[in-house]
Amino acid sequence: MLPVFTIHRERERDKERERENERASEQQTGNSSVTCLDFRGSSLLKACEGNAMQRLWRTLILLQTVWALSWLGVGSLRVDDCPDGAAISWTLLEDKPLAGDVNTSRTESVMTFDPVMIDHEATLLCKVTCGLESKHARASVLVYSFPDAPVIRGQDGLKLGQESMLTCEVSDVFPAELLTVDWLRGDAVVQTLAGYSGSLGFHSVQTSYVFTLDREDVGQSMTCRATLDLQGLAAEDRSRETSVPLTPRYPPVVVEISDAVSMMAGSALSLSCSAEGNPTPQISWSFKTAGGGSRPLSRGSELVVMATALSHAGQYDCVATNSEGNVTATVEVRVHAPPTNTAIAVSPGREVLEGEEVTISCRSEGAPTPTLLLRRVSQEGVELQRSNSSLSFNLSSALMDDSGLYECEASNQYGSNLVNTSITVRGQLVS
């Protein structure tokens, strides 16, 4: 019948005999495992259960498969079928004291590391003795720290068409020499930093990637992937990554603006302009004055005039501005109108003395510029002068026969406008 094990604390044994037994057990079992402990919390180590002597050895063999990363884990061995009582002990192969806290109950022996320290890296042996027979299993305890995903900096300073740099930092890593940091542009690896040589302890590992952004890169992503190649670490805990979009800064570019406009006076005018850039451009409108200056109008992508007049004809500038620069686009507005504000004037006045000099002038507004025609109505509409701009007719020495009605007609393709005035020439008094 197989012996039945119960749990009790292992009594003190001769150190040399214990090492000989360990070496003998190593030759018998050849079992080893790797256990990863995380800096971020306490860890405990566990072994599987067994019900009889042969199951006890199987338990020790399976020990390598169940020690794993845990926030709070215990290394324990449970033995149920040792009638004379089983002794369980934990030792280190290295020449240093056992750092974990051991707690042995009737059913299992527990070793706890709280908190996990770098010094806890060691080769740990769990030994069980039942009567005259003893076996043990060995595990390599590897301490690591890999608490956070990489942090990427510099993406806010990217500029289109210029050399730019991103930095990636992986904080509080141990062991840093097992860390690999890859830069990925889209899905392609473009740069790799493998390993870090430095003093013992956990480190912040930083790497930079220098590149030039083209317009076709805008909207793509850049990824920093950190991988800790530690034996025994679960696959899902080995790699962490962070991605940022490539949104470089660049000066505004006007992508759309209204075409040149021809319209009748009194109609509503609406002009639109859009621009892209990073940061987002601010759009403003201005009007080029006759003197070559610029008169500010409004802000926003759209400019609206409810009822246009001739004064609204000219060049309108759309100005897009951000921190990287500005750009201007121009749209021409032409306003058509029939002659208006037509006026006729006589100098020095409508009543003059014979022999005085008299000037008759006429002006009008319209687009195109109206043609001006001056006639004397009292002589069956005799044409006195025609002009395509301003009109000025001169009587160098007025005669009484020059008295009469004068009219000025302004006309263009959109209409005409007629105004008149009378002139009275009086004779000189004879003394």
Question: How far apart, in Å, do the first and last CA atoms of the chain sit?
Answer: 171
Q: Where are the alpha helices (DSSP H) in 113-259?
A: 235-238
Whether the bond between 251 and the residue before it is cis, its omega within 30 degrees of 0, is no
- pLDDT tens-place string over residues 247-282: 888 899 999 999 999 999 999 999 999 999 989 999
pTM for this one?
0.58
Helix, strand, coil share (%) of the chain residues, nearest 5: 15, 55, 30
Report the C-alpha gap between 323 and 252 in whole angstroms: 9
Over residues 221-242, mean pLDDT: 90
The label of the residue with tokens 């006589």 reads 346
Q: Where are the beta strands (DSSP E) in 312-357?
A: 314-322, 325-347, 351-353
Report the C-alpha gap between 365 and 342 in whole angstroms: 7
DSSP 160: B
- pLDDT tens-place string over residues 360-401: 999 999 999 999 999 998 767 788 999 987 899 999 999 998
Percent of the chain with pLDDT over 70: 77
How many C-beta neighbours within 10 Å does residue 60 have?
24
The label of the residue with tokens 């805990």 reads 237
- pLDDT tens-place string over residues 318-337: 999 999 999 999 999 999 99
Report the C-alpha gap between 146 and 152 in whole angstroms: 16
Query: For residue 34, is pLDDT > 50?
Result: yes
Is the separation of the CB atoms in 304 and 331 below 8 Å?
no
Supply the pLDDT for residue 431: 58
Mean pLDDT of the chain: 79
332-345 burial, b at 16+ Cβ within 10 Å, e below that, comes to ebebbbbbbebebe
By CB atoms closer than 10 A (0-12, 13-18, 19+), residue 303 is: buried
Compute CA distances 201 → 39, 99, 117, 149, 196, whole Å. Answer: 11, 18, 10, 19, 12
